[in-house]
């Protein structure tokens, strides 16, 4: 009888893509394993997971807003409905193990599974654990983490240091520079700046780039700019007004392996997945942590690199005046690029997906 695994969570690419990487690795180890994803209705996993070839079921679960809103009043009811639905899913699918990667859906699913005696595994991506995972850790059998020192949040005996799983295509980016330059219609003799703000874009980064667009154009460099859907039309208009074809704007980049391959320097938020990818592709990076992230975990993620001279940091509040000038200085400094690249590559954990998949299968045994 084939092994059955539920993988739950999502909300952002930082949760979804590690989940898909784990699923792919499980299939590589054992092609007969049956995998069901459970996400939150209306969130991006409902589109990204089927695109990756997996079935997903949505729960009506939502997060709590920081302000008092009507949505917050509905939160307990949606959470209750989600738990009831999660119990149905667990009963019908009969998994051998349930995996939570963070995000709204992981709470009801892992709780429902553990109450049925099904072993659960948590994959915590960040250097600062979220509230849901801290609560779920009491019942979890295994907790896979990306950073040392996570015994501050979880029982030490349950921890396994694996790193964050990254898609295989991104791990192969180093061999795709020519393909990446061709895909984005870039000139091989010019240096390339890649600007990414996470799967939904980053307003501060976008506005900083827009403000200093002329500086970027005058520098002679070329830019691949991922804006998110909310900013894309504004970015395209700014580029059209500037009359340049050396700045390419995209709302979302599916071919991130090719984007990394083409880049000489990367500007990025400091989400856990972004940092894991940057370590694996060994790109010189300027990190702009999202200050409103829970417990300021993006700053903690960024400092784990900055303190090892493996990346540079520009604070969100300083980005409008400092970000583009810092990127131009780094693009002009080949020596610093080499140093950052060497230091960040030493922090990569390329076998993370395999190690987590093996932990999942070990729980079944």
**CATH code where residue 178 lies:** 3.40.50.2000
User: What pLDDT score does 337 carry?
Assistant: 98
Does 65 share its domain with 214? no
State yes or no: 107 annotated in a binding site.
Answer: no
> Do 89 and 178 fall within a single domain?
no
Task: Give the number of domains in the chain.
Answer: 2
Question: Has 253 been labeled as part of a binding site?
Answer: yes
Regarding whether 138 and 84 lie in a shared domain, the answer is yes
Low-confidence ranges of the chain (pLDDT < 50): none
Claim to verify: residue 204 and residue 142 sit in the same structural domain: no
Residues 156 and 207 in one domain: no
Instruction: Answer yes or no: is 126 a known binding residue.
Output: yes
336 is in an annotated binding site: no
User: 167: annotated binding-site residue?
Assistant: yes
pLDDT at 309: 96
Same domain, 53 and 103: yes
Residue 237 labelled as part of a binding site? no
Q: Indicate if 132 and 251 belong to the same structural domain.
A: no
pLDDT at position 92 is 96
The contacts of residue 31 (CB under 8 Å, 6+ apart) are none
Please tell me whether 346 is known to bind a ligand. Answer: no
Facing residues of 8 across strands? Answer: 38, 100
Q: According to the model, what pLDDT value does residue 78 have?
A: 58
What is 159-223 written as a DSSP string? EEE------HHHHTGGG-HHHHHHHTT--TTS-EEEEE--TT--HHHHHHHHHTHHHHHHHT-EE
Q: What is the pLDDT of residue 200?
A: 75
154 and 230 belong to one structural domain: no
Residues constituting the chain? 365
Query: Within this chain, do residues 103 and 231 fall inside the same structural domain, yes or no?
Result: no
pTM of the model: 0.83
Together in a domain, 190 and 74: no
Residue 13, annotated as binding a ligand: yes
The domain of 96 spans 4-165+350-364
Same domain, 186 and 87: no
- Looking at the structure, tell me whether residues 137 and 211 fall in a common domain: no
The CA–CA distances, whole Å, from 285 to 6, 13, 175, 211 equal 35, 19, 19, 20
């Amino acid at each position: 009888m084939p092994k059955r695994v539920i993988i739950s969570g999502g909300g952002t690419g930082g949760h979804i893509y590690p989940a898909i990487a784990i699923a792919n690795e499980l299939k590589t180890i054992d092609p007969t394993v049956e995998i069901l994803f459970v996400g939150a209705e209306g969130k991006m996993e409902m589109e990204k997971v089927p695109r990756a070839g997996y079935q997903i079921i949505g729960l009506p679960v939502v997060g709590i807003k920081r302000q008092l809103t009507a949505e917050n009043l509905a939160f307990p009811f949606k959470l209750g409905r989600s738990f009831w639905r999660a119990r149905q899913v667990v009963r019908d699918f009969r998994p051998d193990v349930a995996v939570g990667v963070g995000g709204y859906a992981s709470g009801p699913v892992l709780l429902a599974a553990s109450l049925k005696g099904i072993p659960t595994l948590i994959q915590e991506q960040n250097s600062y654990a979220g509230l849901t995972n801290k609560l779920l850790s009491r019942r979890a059998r295994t907790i896979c983490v990306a950073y040392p020192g996570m015994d501050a949040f979880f029982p030490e005996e349950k921890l396994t240091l694996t790193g964050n799983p990254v898609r295989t295509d991104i791990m192969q980016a180093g061999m795709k520079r020519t393909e990446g330059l061709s895909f984005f219609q870039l000139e091989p003799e010019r240096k390339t700046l890649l600007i990414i703000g996470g799967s939904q874009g980053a307003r501060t980064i976008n506005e900083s780039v827009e403000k200093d667009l002329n500086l970027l154009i005058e520098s002679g460099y070329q830019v691949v700019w991922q804006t998110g859907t909310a900013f894309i039309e504004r970015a395209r208009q700014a580029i059209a007004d500037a009359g340049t074809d050396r700045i390419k704007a995209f709302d979302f980049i599916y071919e991130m392996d090719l984007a990394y391959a083409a880049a000489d320097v990367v500007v990025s938020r400091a989400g856990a997945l972004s940092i894991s990818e940057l370590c694996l592709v060994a790109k010189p990076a300027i990190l702009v942590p999202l200050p409103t992230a829970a417990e300021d975990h993006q700053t903690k993620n960024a400092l784990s690199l900055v303190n090892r001279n493996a990346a540079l940091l520009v604070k969100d509040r300083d980005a409008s005046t400092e970000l583009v000038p810092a990127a131009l200085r780094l693009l002009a400094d080949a020596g610093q690029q080499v140093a950052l690249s060497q230091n960040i590559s030493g922090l990569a954990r390329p076998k993370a997906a395999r190690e987590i998949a093996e932990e999942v299968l070990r729980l079944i045994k």
